[in-house]
Structure 1
Amino acid sequence: MKKVTPFLMFQDGNAEEAMNFYTSLMEDSHITKIVRYGANEAGEDGTVMQAVFTLKGQEFMCIDSNIKHPFSFTPSFSIFLTCNSEKEIVNLYEKLLEDGQALMPLDEYGFSKKFGWLNDRFGVSWQLNLP
């Protein structure tokens, strides 16, 4: 095995918007590669056939699915962020929560100084921790 990479499948043509949003929130994060569907291909012209982006050095792959599936993201798989400060965790939580859903509001739960869990506006689940 060469490596393991988390893979996100978006179904509403918003993979690129999500990547741009995520990489704008975290330093040392960027989009590495985007391959788009062209005219007369399986997906909608210009949407993401396959893309790679990194968040703080962790590589992710994603696509805009050209098939509508009866499922979406699930919070049982989430992206876990270990934050460095109160300001950072509050800022990230608030931005990721915009038009999303809080699963565990930012608070002290006994296992960390501050923790929050949410689904963002794209349906991706995030856990934020301040140890």
Structure 2
Amino acid sequence: MPAPQELTSKDQLDLILQSLDDDKAEEIVTINLAGKSSIGDYMIVCSGRSSRQVSSIADKLAEKIKHATGRVAKIEGKETGDWVLIDTGDIIVHVFRPEVREFYQLEKMWLQPGSPAPAI
């Protein structure tokens, strides 16, 4: 088992995107926040098909971050599974049920007007 290490924001991003893909997250959107906000370098918004899947995606992602870096990601909202926020320090991940994501339309607040959402 490799020792925890300090990952760059890009390395964390790659780890997170792989985890989300492995856990079948849907409609993954990555938003570069560098120079736009002090909350982090990237924001990721994605969906899970059910409350159970949303919670599972968050749990597995937090575990992979802990295993890779030795740091514990902050998690909010896992109890209900409608919208879970995972804060890794450099990257904020939002995992929604589709109906909740549609209601809040969070990524639209951060993307440039008129530009399509970058899908990964």
Fold-level similarity (TM above 0.5): no
TM-score normalized with structure 1 length: 0.42
Structure with more contact order per residue of length (Cα contacts < 8 Å, sep ≥ 6): 2
Give the structure-2-normalised TM-score: 0.44
